[in-house]
Amino acid sequence: MKIFTMTKTVTRNLVTGPATLMYPQRERVFTAITRGMIENDIDRCIFCGMCARRCPTYAIVVAKDNKAWQIDRLKCCICNLCVEVCPVKCLSTENHYAQSVTTREMAIHKESQTISAAPGPDQTQT
């Protein structure tokens, strides 16, 4: 009886198209609920550290003194807890995946906020 099951599968595969995506010709479209990677809008971040405390894998490190934020994408399990706990909602889950890496250092994504210095009393604005 297994021959009938196999014949059914072979016939279905001959009639329908391939099950795989023809990658170079057609780009993959991710659905809206795909959990790809965590992104941070660094300009809105207040560096409170709530995301780092809530992360179950300790993938996020926040340095408030030098306004730096980093995530180790190899440790991140994309549970979305950091996004939920962020008070200013600067974290978001993107629906595309991070680039492939060959070393562990390439997986650590670092961001820092640049502070523009206000002109002092001896500097004139023109």
CATH number of 25-112, picked from 3.30.70.3270, 3.40.120.10, 3.30.540.10, 3.40.630.10: 3.30.70.3270
Domain boundaries, the chain: 25-112
Average pLDDT of the residues of the chain: 84
pTM above threshold 0.75? no
CA distances 67 to 39, 43, 72, Å, are 16, 10, 17
What pLDDT, in 10s, does the model give residues 60-108? 999 999 999 999 999 999 999 999 999 999 999 988 888 888 898 888 9
The whole-number pLDDT of residue 26 equals 80
Q: Which two tokens stand for residue 22?
A: 């023809």
Number of H helices, E strands in the chain: 3, 5
